[in-house]
Amino acid sequence: MRRVVAGVLAGTGLAVVVLAGGGCRQQGSREAFCAQVVEVPVVSDADTLVAPGGEDLLDGLLEGLEDLHDASPGEVRPDVGTLVSVTKDLREVLREADPERADEETLAELRSGLAYYGAASERVVAYTSRTCGIDLTTVTATPTITTTD
């Protein structure tokens, strides 16, 4: 399963903008978003998340993205929330998955979440560039799921 998840992540290229929604807190501001976006850990290699220590890295990524969600103003908040949700789902899959075999139901859940990931990621990257002047174009927002036999 971990190899399958690595294939899922490899299709995304980078898990930088994988965000999930924190609770119903006050909306942030553009200034707070721009200050926080540079604090989100960058994961440039999918294998890093499925290697030893990857769970801690994913937890750190999720924490950074939840903080970004809290800092997000209304115009980008829903997209950041989508990405946080997918990250939470991915973390659960990695924690519960049998690393030796891919469970089709689990893969279906990942496919469903990743269907929304690409578009949300592109919008967050564009917003960050336009609003903050920060270039996150190294993020590839075309998630895929591959299976290994």
**Domains of the chain by residue range:** 2-132
Question: Is 143 or 95 the better-scoring residue by pLDDT?
Answer: 95
Most confidently predicted of 58-62, 63-67, 115-119, 121-125: 63-67
Cα maximum dimension of the chain: 47
Angstrom distance (rounded) from CA 122 to CA 114: 13
**pLDDT per position as a tens digit, 118-131:** 788 889 989 999 99
**Is 91's pLDDT higher than 80?**
yes
CB atoms within 10 A of CB 26: 6
And the tokens for 110? 């990942």
Question: Does residue 51 register a pLDDT over 80?
Answer: no
Instruction: Tell which wins on pLDDT, 81 or 43.
Output: 81
Model pTM above 0.75: no
Higher pLDDT, 73 or 114: 73
Phi and psi based region of residue 9 (left: phi greater than 0; alpha: psi -120 to 50; beta: remaining)? alpha
Mean pLDDT of 134-140: 69
pLDDT band with cut points at 50, 70 and 90 for residue 104: confident
Q: Which of 147, 148, 143, 149 is nearest to 10 (CA)?
A: 143
